[in-house]
Structure 1
């Protein structure tokens, strides 16, 4: 991976050999624990500069303390969200919406989309979410005593719920997941191909929904108005791409890391199985321990931030997995305590851009764990297999073979 030279304004003593993409434990690794590996970020200065901490090898400032991350994420005037992470893969600059918009435009689009993913709307979706989980798990239980849980449960469960929300057919689930995998975890050849494929798909879907409206998200977007006008083609694309990509990987990854933890910690597994009322609280601790995303901001002006000489245009990384291991925020942060109370974790981000889909994601994780533990006997990672984990912009896990023979 190409790396940028360290900018002249960064003091040499603030440069650290660390990357969410290439540091030990971040590359695809059997039996790896990338979340534990990032805890080392707290061993040094609270803010440091990594010369290669993005998918395309750009340098970023790394904010390690949760309190400092909250300051960055709250200050949208100084730290902009407009960084065109997706479109830059195609050599373009349009934003995903509302993630890469700053106020006041951000608020306009967030207000448009919020009702679609509100707690009330999620309650309406919940029976379908639970039914999908039960159907998949009953099928797995009936077909043997082991499974590849990502392929047979985590992805089909979370992605099918999302596809239903988008109004897309289940039979293309594997194709869509493949696109997301190439985009988020692929190489320099696969990423642009996946990005272009997704853009073309979203553009065609928008065209089709204009001609033949149905009761789904894309129809809502092409018919919606903001400030008395219809959305532009670029705005529709920006929303469609964000919603599509966000729903294809993150929640499935979270469920995978959760089940991998329970497979290795049979006492905790048995506790949740015998006392299912504990699952909702436990899910919060697992979200703290295994959040999947790094948030990037771009400095809009020169600022001395907590001793770091951040300059206009610098990238600033607020990685949720680093904030969630902050010893100033959490007692024994590297110990997973399923009874932890007052769990102010950063899994869904913070500030105006806090994850729009957090209510749905949280319910999917809880329901997935409830139904899995209710239907599958005590499970372990199958002997002779090793789950493959990776770091990156979104942390991932695959080849998670669970066995309950």
Structure 2
């Protein structure tokens, strides 16, 4: 069965005022468990889309049959190096994962929480002092995630506006702007790595350039691949999640009031919002011919495991289209599944929880400004922009 599912096309395509891409893709559960989308990827190739959560878990767990090695970011620049460890397969993936896991442990994230809270408060307090309305993505979500990233790298916050510009162009710019932003990001990572080789510091990049695997130092491409992953994956996904969460709360004042009055509920609520507004589509490449759920998948075919589909699966979640901020046993896959479970999941969760708590504690009842319309888009990472909130 063939379906043209443009919501899964390249970032920036099919932007929709007041759109709800998550509800739009959830309709696939009325159809077959797997279908073919002919225009799903940047390179124009089609993709098999897996709709059932349990089948997605099978794909994501089977790294021998479904490979992650695609070099998406580098190929957009005409280069061929992997984003690490995301685009590596076992056993190499496990080597790098073991190296990096301790940096993103729950213990490390807890230690970073005061800094995360400080960054959130500084941004929100400035917004609260100066205005009664803001573009939440431009004025808070992106600067907040960029600020945490700079803190993690041990860099000055003076670079914040530059990073926000790069990420905005990467997410929402035209083809030329996206390419230029990608080159700027790569150039920054390479320059920072070279600087830390010359002058070590107590930070993330120093750890990476001094690390060894199998008794050798990491190559320049390996260092670059790690740096790019942390920058890109750690910024757009968290910022997008915060944006979708803010849009939901702006449209649902009772839930907004509940979380404002009972901030201890925010952590559980965030899990439900991660489920309902998952942002990432994971794509694998078949390493051999296989029949999957009766469908003949050929070697080299792309297979999509979209979290926004799996997390609205009615066979996994009761009333999946209902947002229940008190939902228990929420076994969503917003951060993926299997060996490639998101490396920064602990950090992302903490950023979202802290961001929402501090916003609700400092900004009175807010709504989407009359006469404006937030723009949503599909793609490998679902996103939202022009989200203008206003308050008394």
TM-score band by shorter chain is over 0.9
Q: Deviations over 1:260-296 (max 9, x none)?
A: 1000001111111122221111100000011111101
Q: 1:313 aligns with which of 292, 300, 308?
A: 300
Residue 241 (structure 1) aligns with: 228
Gaps of 5+ in 1: 1-13
Asked whether the equivalents of residues 49 and 62 of structure 1 are also in contact (C-alpha less than 8 Å), the reply is yes
Gaps of 5+ in 2: none
The alignment status of 1:164 with 2:151, answered yes or no, reads yes
Cα distance, 1:136 vs structure 2: 1.6
The alignment status of 1:215 with 2:198, answered yes or no, reads no
C-alpha distance 136-250 of structure 1, shift in aligned 2 (>3 A): same
Which moved further from structure 2: 316-325 or 136-145? 136-145
Report the count of equivalent residues. Answer: 391
C-alpha distance 186-311 of structure 1, shift in aligned 2 (>3 A): farther
State the TM-score, normalizing by the size of structure 1. Answer: 0.93
Q: Distance in 1 between matches of 2:121 and 2:244?
A: 20
Q: Distance in 2 between matches of 1:286 and 1:302?
A: 37
Q: Distance in 2 between matches of 1:91 and 1:254?
A: 30
C-alpha distance 263-296 of structure 1, shift in aligned 2 (>3 A): same
Residue 99 (structure 1) aligns with: 86
Q: Distance in 1 between matches of 2:163 and 2:128?
A: 26
The alignment status of 1:27 with 2:10, answered yes or no, reads no
Asked whether the equivalents of residues 196 and 209 of structure 2 are also in contact (C-alpha less than 8 Å), the reply is yes
C-alpha distance 143-321 of structure 1, shift in aligned 2 (>3 A): same
Q: Distance in 1 between matches of 2:378 and 2:159?
A: 26
The 3-state SS of whatever aligns with 1:247 is: helix
Residue 162 (structure 2) aligns with: 175
Cα distance, 1:196 vs structure 2: 2.2
C-alpha distance 185-332 of structure 1, shift in aligned 2 (>3 A): same
Q: Distance in 1 between matches of 2:86 and 2:279?
A: 16
- The Cα RMSD (Å) is 1.6
The alignment status of 1:194 with 2:178, answered yes or no, reads no
Q: Distance in 2 between matches of 1:304 and 1:83?
A: 22
Q: Distance in 2 between matches of 1:257 and 1:153?
A: 13
Cα distance, 1:18 vs structure 2: 1.2
Cα distance, 1:144 vs structure 2: 2.4
Q: Distance in 2 between matches of 1:253 and 1:107?
A: 28
Cα distance, 1:22 vs structure 2: 5.1
Asked whether the equivalents of residues 272 and 327 of structure 2 are also in contact (C-alpha less than 8 Å), the reply is yes
Cα distance, 1:51 vs structure 2: 0.6
Cα distance, 1:315 vs structure 2: 0.6
Q: 1:256 aligns with which of 243, 259, 284?
A: 243
Asked whether the equivalents of residues 20 and 393 of structure 1 are also in contact (C-alpha less than 8 Å), the reply is no
The 3-state SS of whatever aligns with 1:171 is: helix
Residue 45 (structure 1) aligns with: 32
C-alpha distance 199-22 of structure 1, shift in aligned 2 (>3 A): closer
Asked whether the equivalents of residues 254 and 291 of structure 1 are also in contact (C-alpha less than 8 Å), the reply is yes
Q: Distance in 2 between matches of 1:262 and 1:186?
A: 27
1:349-364 to 2 correspondences below 5 Å: 349-364=336-351
Q: Deviations over 1:21-62 (max 9, x none)?
A: 459x96112111111111122121110010111233321100
Which moved further from structure 2: 167-176 or 235-244? 167-176
State the TM-score, normalizing by the size of structure 2. Answer: 0.96
Cα distance, 1:170 vs structure 2: 2.1
C-alpha distance 137-191 of structure 1, shift in aligned 2 (>3 A): closer
Q: Distance in 1 between matches of 2:327 and 2:112?
A: 28
Residue 3 (structure 1) aligns with: none
Q: Deviations over 1:363-391 (max 9, x none)?
A: 11111111111111111111111111111
The 3-state SS of whatever aligns with 2:35 is: strand
The alignment status of 1:329 with 2:316, answered yes or no, reads yes
Q: 2:273 aligns with which of 259, 263, 286?
A: 286
1:13-162 to 2 correspondences below 5 Å: 14-21=1-8, 27-162=14-149
Cα distance, 1:100 vs structure 2: 0.5
Asked whether the equivalents of residues 176 and 248 of structure 1 are also in contact (C-alpha less than 8 Å), the reply is no
Asked whether the equivalents of residues 9 and 380 of structure 2 are also in contact (C-alpha less than 8 Å), the reply is no
Asked whether the equivalents of residues 21 and 55 of structure 1 are also in contact (C-alpha less than 8 Å), the reply is no
Asked whether the equivalents of residues 29 and 389 of structure 1 are also in contact (C-alpha less than 8 Å), the reply is yes
